[in-house]
Amino acid sequence: MTNLLDASSSGLQTAARILREGGLVAFGTETVYGLGGDATQPKTVARIFEAKNRPRFNPLISHFADAQAAFTQVVANPLAHKLADTFWPGPLTLILPRAPHSTVSDLAADGLPTLAVRVPKGETVQALLKLVQRPIAAPSANRSGRISPSDAAHVLEELDGRIDAVLDSGPCQVGVESTVLDISNPERPTLLRPGGITLEALQAVCGTIFMPETEVDAAPASPGRLLSHYAPHLPVRLNATDVAPDEALLAFGNTQPSEAAISWNLSESGNLEEAAARLFTGLRTLDKQGQSHHLRGIAVQPIPQHGLGLAIQDRLNRAAAPRPALPPEDLPA
Ligand code: TXA
Ligand code: MG
């Protein structure tokens, strides 16, 4: 079964040993919990997809303790160094050409000529990556298409029995995934996924940031941009200015409609950092309580469209998107 490890030195040693032996360990990062495995071992990477029930056409991010280690696997350009100096460790993933001698398996890179690399922030994940000294592939530690986990209990809800261990480092500080920026062509830095580093912060370093949707000849969109994603069981209604008696409310700010029987306020003071950190737990909580009270959906108040608001809205759009029939939560392996 899945071993729950604490962030003590013996917990870290155990987690590192499991990873080096090709096992799967979920661990906390500053963004969300990742489902980690040695990216150089194709069998391990295959187990990650299996544990998540994830479609195989999704390339994975390789995680490293520092930029020096990350840049052994890719061809870093001057912009990569500048971004790494500014934002690493931190919630930014860079897409760069794979180095000819890269040891990351084709399965982890999905056979692409590029590789996603990231240096996460946090004492526990940093200590773990230093011990392991391998590129660690780590998609978010949820079943494919479901809400990303922002604490160890969420990971166990989704993956207990399917992975070797969870390293508990407490709740995640940022709460939404890393920003994915394609700089394989440094002339056209392209935002593939909004996330923990804001568009404004990237623009301050890179100047113009390109968007795959609006640019005719931009790089192909991130293969992970499945429209329906982060999906709770209950349908989600966006930009709600009122709430029906049979809806749960995901509120933002201090203008929360008082009628809501079940609600979760992302941030009463209207703080977007706080809202991001509380997003996935809020969706999960409302989904559970709403279902047990036989509500018909989740209404979401408008989110300001600047700073981390873009990443929050992106996740909410996916939660609200039309979706294929979801497998039941307890689908056998
Ligand atoms: O915050 C995060 O990034 C978390 C934590 C655990 O680090 N990880 C995460 O991984 O969100 P995942 O696998 O759920 O999302 C990875 C994203 C996907 O959208 C994927 O398509 C994109 O990165 N990606 C990975 N490699 C790529 C590549 N070579 N080119 C374009 N997009 C890539
Ligand atoms: Mg994910």
Ligand 1 pocket, residue 224 CB under 6 Å: yes
**Is pLDDT at 225 greater than 60 in this prediction?**
no
Provide the pLDDT for residue 6: 97
**Is pLDDT at 333 greater than 80 in this prediction?**
no
Interval 100-114: pLDDT, tens: 999 999 889 988 899
Helices (H) and strands (E) in the chain, counts: 10, 14
- Residue 31, C-beta contacts closer than 8 angstroms, at least 6 positions apart: 91, 120, 172, 174, 175, 176, 177, 178, 195, 196
Q: Domain 236-323: give its CATH superfamily.
A: Threonylcarbamoyl-AMP synthase, C-terminal domain (3.40.50.11030)
Question: How many angstroms separate the alpha carbon of residue 224 from the centre of ligand 2?
Answer: 8
Question: How many angstroms separate the alpha carbon of residue 224 from the centre of ligand 1?
Answer: 7
The residue extents of the domains of the chain are: 3-206, 236-323
Written out in words, the top-level CATH class of the domain with range 3-206 is alpha beta
Average pLDDT, the chain: 91
**Is pLDDT at 220 greater than 60 in this prediction?**
no
Q: Is 63 annotated as a binding residue?
A: yes
**Is pLDDT at 230 greater than 80 in this prediction?**
no
Describe the strand order of the beta sheet including 165-168 as a list of residue ranges.
Answer: 3-6, 165-168, 25-28, 33-38, 136-137, 61-63, 114-118, 92-97, 179-182, 190-193
Confidence grade of residue 213 (pLDDT, cut at 50, 70, 90): low
Provide the pLDDT for residue 261: 86
Query: Is the model more confident about 304 or about 144?
Result: 304
Distance (Å, whole) CA 181 – CA 16: 29
Interval 50-79: pLDDT, tens: 899 876 668 999 999 999 999 999 999 999
Alpha helices in 112-211 (DSSP H): 123-132, 152-159, 199-206
Q: Which of 32, 54, 75, 93 is the pocket-test mutation for ligand 1 (most atoms within 8 Å of CB)?
A: 93
> By CB neighbour count within 10 A (0-12 exposed, 13-18 middle, 19+ buried), where does 205 fall?
middle
Question: Quick one: tokens of 115?
Answer: 């590789």
pTM over 0.85: yes
